[in-house]
Structure 1
């Protein structure tokens, strides 16, 4: 069986503007270049996966249903610009969670690589040929620990970074 490379993206402040535990559809806003980046990855035939810490669930700030509604809206907005998100994996845990069941440690809260491992198994992905992009060092570390090439996104233009990633890692046959 041939494993496929993929792009893993953090959600908050990488794809969408983070206003602090983002879950309200009315506040949905793309980060600069995010819509074009998603379309570029799709046009290049690279499957896109979102890996996101959603500790606001554990802290009781919003529900899993609220997050799922936000993700459904994100999927719809992505399709409307000609992109596609194959899957979204999230971690609801947080050190300050209101219930013991959602307190860390866990294997899925970045910088732990559990979300990437789970998606790789589910979708038959080659992590060594995949790329992780996020705005925090924990995103980069999770990607590196999973064996991916990782980029720290510095709030510039995500489309410019996407073009670099496509050219460097996917058009040249990967690593």
Structure 2
């Protein structure tokens, strides 16, 4: 039986400042307060798992190696705060805009729960005791489909999804630090 609680985290617009198709590590910038908020979650015993749609791979804007390089940079920056990610999962696919093998319908692209389900299997995560935090409807749809509680942050693209979040009984909060406070109170 799965025993670990996790917080699944969207990347762009949730952890880092939204920049269209961010791939250059030099342009990576945390949203204020995020590393400290992740530190609190980790100290409370949550696994931290990044789940990120990366359709720039499907669109031919960059390769998987570029995504890996950016995530390695993010991990180095987080390590300065003592934060260690339990996993980073990406979906390189897009159903309509893409080239080659990545232009497919898949079960890993958020709103589908594939990345969360894979992480749960690999990391022994108890999904009903876990949370999904992101800035788009696809994030809370994926969280809901996986059986997690979801929280929408208003950073990134979040502001335009607040109404849909309310319609789906998903709380909308200012940013990731606010989401962490809500999680720790739950």
8 Å Cα contact 1:33/1:160 also seen in 2: no
**What is the CA-CA distance between 1:144 and the residue it aligns to?**
0.1
Rounded Cα–Cα distance in structure 1 between residues aligned with 2:134 and 2:64: 22
Residue 41 of structure 1 is matched in structure 2 by 41
Rounded Cα–Cα distance in structure 1 between residues aligned with 2:32 and 2:56: 24
**What is the CA-CA distance between 1:87 and the residue it aligns to?**
0.5
Rounded Cα–Cα distance in structure 1 between residues aligned with 2:176 and 2:131: 14
8 Å Cα contact 1:40/1:163 also seen in 2: no
Q: Deviations over 1:70-114 (max 9, x none)?
A: 000111111111212110000000120111x21131010010100
Secondary structure of the structure 1 residue equivalent to 2:35: helix
Ranges in structure 1 where 5+ consecutive residues have no aligned partner: 169-175
Alignment of 1:26-175 (within 5 A): 26-94=26-94, 95-99=96-100, 101-155=101-155, 156-168=174-186
* Greater RCO (Cα-Cα under 8 Å, separation 6 or more): 1
TM-score w.r.t. structure 1 length? 0.92
Rounded Cα–Cα distance in structure 2 between residues aligned with 1:68 and 1:92: 12
Change (3 A) 1:107 1:158: same
Change (3 A) 1:2 1:107: closer
Secondary structure of the structure 1 residue equivalent to 2:51: strand
**What is the CA-CA distance between 1:39 and the residue it aligns to?**
0.9
Alignment: residue pair count:
167
Q: Deviations over 1:5-59 (max 9, x none)?
A: 1110000000011210111001010012211111111121211000000000110
Deviates more, 1:49-58 or 1:158-167: 158-167
